[in-house]
């Protein structure tokens, strides 16, 4: 069974926590160490960012991380080599999050094959048109037992959400707001209404809430309205401040989430 499906099938009532970091930032060769440290510290699954020069969905923190990673020399091919090097030590799901252009340049079929060989369980491609997903990406991903995770926002219609739910497997990534990534201090009533609306739809796929989670208030709001939370910008910031020391960054993250 795909590790993503297995995780959600066996979690019971436990709320999950996923973290995102950009491969190659702050240092080129830290990918494996960051992943293994997260696993040891109890993170349920990890989104590994593929740096790209034009990350449209990302705020300044992740944009800056991507630029630094590219300057350090990170590439899709190198990232897959780094993941392959630690594959036998990783038991939790790894999800590659990246934009369509580098994947097309690599070749969709070859990318899916090499990602699976490196121990990847899923893909998030924010700028992937759904028609292209159905026609091209999903068949390639299915051949290599990869789950393609789709994002929804407060602007996504109920009809579209149900269509996504019917045609994907793994989980649905609920973007907390129709905006770029970045830490927020709280989720206002409008966002809470969005969370409750999606909850009432009783979708087939479990949901994870991301974008803006950085403290206890936003974490608890996500946990109350979904299977768990995804944290990106906050952890990227802390990892940079800790000069790539993932243990120290996690200490500081857990402290921030407790307040």
**What pLDDT band is residue 191 in, cutting at 50, 70 and 90?**
confident
Is the confidence at residue 46, as pLDDT, over 50? yes
What is the rounded average pLDDT of the residues 233-254? 97
194-233 pLDDT, tens digit each: 999 999 999 999 999 999 898 999 999 999 999 999 999 9
**Catalytic hit among 47, 117, 132, 169:** 47
Alpha-carbon distances, residue 143 vs 102, 129, 134 (angstroms)? 20, 20, 13
Indicate if 247 belongs to the active site: no
**What pLDDT band is residue 55 in, cutting at 50, 70 and 90?**
confident
Indicate if 145 belongs to the active site: no
Residue 178: the pLDDT is: 58
Report the C-alpha gap between 74 and 69 in whole angstroms. Answer: 6
**Catalytic hit among 58, 109, 127, 131:** 58
Report the C-alpha gap between 87 and 77 in whole angstroms. Answer: 15
Which pTM value belongs to this model? 0.94
């Amino acid at each position: 069974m795909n590790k993503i499906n297995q995780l959600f099938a066996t979690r019971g009532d436990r709320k999950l926590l996923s973290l995102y970091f950009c491969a190659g930032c702050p240092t080129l060769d830290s990918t494996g160490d960051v992943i293994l440290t997260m696993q040891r510290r109890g993170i349920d699954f990890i989104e590994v960012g593929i740096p790209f020069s034009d990350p449209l969905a990302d705020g300044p923190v992740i944009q800056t991380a991507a630029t630094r990673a590219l300057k350090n020399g990170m590439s899709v091919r190198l990232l897959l080599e780094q993941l392959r090097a630690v594959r036998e030590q990783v038991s939790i799901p790894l999800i590659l999050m990246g934009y369509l252009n580098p994947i097309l340049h690599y070749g969709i079929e070859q990318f899916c094959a090499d990602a699976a060989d490196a121990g990847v369980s899923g893909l998030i491609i924010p700028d992937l048109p759904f028609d292209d997903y159905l026609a091209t990406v999903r068949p390639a991903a299915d051949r290599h037992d990869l789950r393609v995770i789709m994002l929804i926002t407060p602007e996504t219609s109920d009809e579209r959400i149900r269509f996504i739910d019917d045609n994907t497997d793994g989980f649905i990534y609920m973007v907390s707001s129709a905006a770029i990534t970045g830490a927020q201090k709280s989720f206002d009533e409008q966002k809470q209404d969005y969370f409750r609306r999606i909850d009432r739809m009783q979708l087939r796929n479990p949901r994870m809430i991301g974008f803006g989670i950085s403290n206890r208030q936003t974490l608890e709001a996500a946990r109350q309205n979904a299977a768990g939370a995804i944290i990106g910008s906050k952890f990227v910031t802390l990892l940079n401040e800790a000069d790539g020391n993932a243990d120290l960054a996690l200490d500081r993250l857990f402290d921030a989430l407790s307040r």
